Amino acid sequence: MSNPAFASLIDAIRGHYRNADFIPLHAPCFNEQAKALVNDCIDTTFVSSVGQYVTRLEEEVAAFTGAKHAVAVVNGTMGLYLALKVAGVRAGDLVLTQSLTFVATANAIKMLGAEPVFIDVDADTYGLSADVLQAFLNEQATLKDGVCMHRASGRRISACVPMHTLGFCAEIDRLIDVCSAFSIPVIEDAAESLGSTLQGRHSGTFGQSGVFSFNGNKIVTTGGGGMLVTNDDALAAHAKHLSTTAKISHAWLFEHDEIAFNLRMPNLNAALGVAQMQQLPDFLREKRALAEKYRGWIETIPGLLSLREPKNSQANYWLNGAILPDLPARDAFLQQSNDAGIQTRPLWTPLHRLPIYADCLRTEMPHTEWLADRVVNLPSGVVCHG
């Protein structure tokens, strides 16, 4: 049975998106310049991993985020893999992360033969909890010759990967303080947070490295792609080397000095990204305005709350969301909205609930499970003009 209170929100969404028959969760918005740059890339014939647009996109992302270096990659998952590899993560290691994230976060860890350790999130940032992380390390880890070791298993804890959930900044400064005391490098999964800042500093630039996604549903898209950012000269050089099959530069010889892969973003995708980066300031303004509208719509409905950016931060509002009273209410809203042609989605199934990760070491998950059972993501794409 439909809920009249939900119907008011559904009507508001439909009106904002011009009463479209189907309203997707997050569709990309392209302008004429995007088509022109892609056509120009085709005309150059440099459509693969070599070309001016790859370099230009790296420069533009570095400038926008304030990072010293940016390395373009084929997607965010491989960006995380690369960031973990150059951080020294090895097979058999443990890597701290959150269960409330897209599965790619943990999959990138597993690609290196390491194991994720799931830490609960904070209820107000939706990201990995510094307090829970501190308690876990105090109870279960120790420093041995400058290396963090898990006491019970004797395995090395070689990295920590917090995720800026839905574009809302985790308490990354505190997380880095906690990890620094245990000599653990922090790699930010900033896949969803391009344009988000904490205390005026861009997400992805606090840790040893950060990784953005340019998937088709992100605030900026290259169709498929990602970007690793870092302020470390040597790390950036190594990441770029490994992303290009570790080929030693030479006019004609094919010599390689490490086992590596072709992880470089194609120039054709980068051309689209260059145009999208020029649209990004407008996207951010429109998304913030939409977030204000959502707050007005959501918080007039008894029992519903909106997702709000944490204190001292500015979110990109990649996805807006509503917090429903409980799991039955969440599922009822999902059914009613999708039946009405409005694509809404729950948060990801927490990774510790998936059979493939059920045996991983983890903390208690009260906030993770509470949010997963209640949050619904709402259509958040920019309305394309013209």
* Structural domain contains residue 23: yes
Question: Of 253, 276, 299, which closes a domain?
Answer: 276
pLDDT at 111: 98
Distance CA 159, CA 278 (A): 34
Please indicate, yes or no, whether residues 9 and 105 belong to a single structural domain of this protein. no
Question: 336: domain range?
Answer: 4-29+279-350+373-378
pLDDT at 304: 96
* Structural domain contains residue 19: yes
* Residue 248, beta-bridge partner list: none
What are the structure tokens assigned to 196, written together?
Answer: 């988000």
Question: Of 230, 251, 276, which closes a domain?
Answer: 276
Please indicate, yes or no, whether residues 38 and 131 belong to a single structural domain of this protein. yes
Please indicate, yes or no, whether residues 169 and 301 belong to a single structural domain of this protein. no
- Pick from 248, 210, 247: which is nearest to 226 by CA? 210
* Structural domain contains residue 386: no
pLDDT at 1: 61
CATH number at residue 154: 3.40.640.10
pLDDT at 386: 55
Please indicate, yes or no, whether residues 61 and 205 belong to a single structural domain of this protein. yes
pLDDT at 5: 86
Please indicate, yes or no, whether residues 160 and 291 belong to a single structural domain of this protein. no
* Structural domain contains residue 55: yes
* Structural domain contains residue 187: yes
- For the chain (386 residues), the mean pLDDT of every run of 10, in chain order, is 88 94 96 96 94 97 98 98 98 98 98 98 97 98 97 98 98 98 98 98 98 98 97 98 96 96 97 98 97 96 95 96 97 97 98 98 98 98 83
Please indicate, yes or no, whether residues 321 and 204 belong to a single structural domain of this protein. no
DSSP string, 316-336: --SSEEEE-SSHHHHHHHHHH
Residue carrying structure tokens 């939706």:
126
Altogether, the residues listed in the chain come to a count of 386
Please indicate, yes or no, whether residues 123 and 259 belong to a single structural domain of this protein. yes
- Pick from 164, 385, 165: which is nearest to 286 by CA? 385
Q: How many domains does the chain have?
A: 2
Average pLDDT, the chain: 97
Residue carrying structure tokens 């000095």:
257
Distance CA 13, CA 373 (A): 22
pTM for the model stands at 0.97
pLDDT at 116: 98
pLDDT at 167: 98
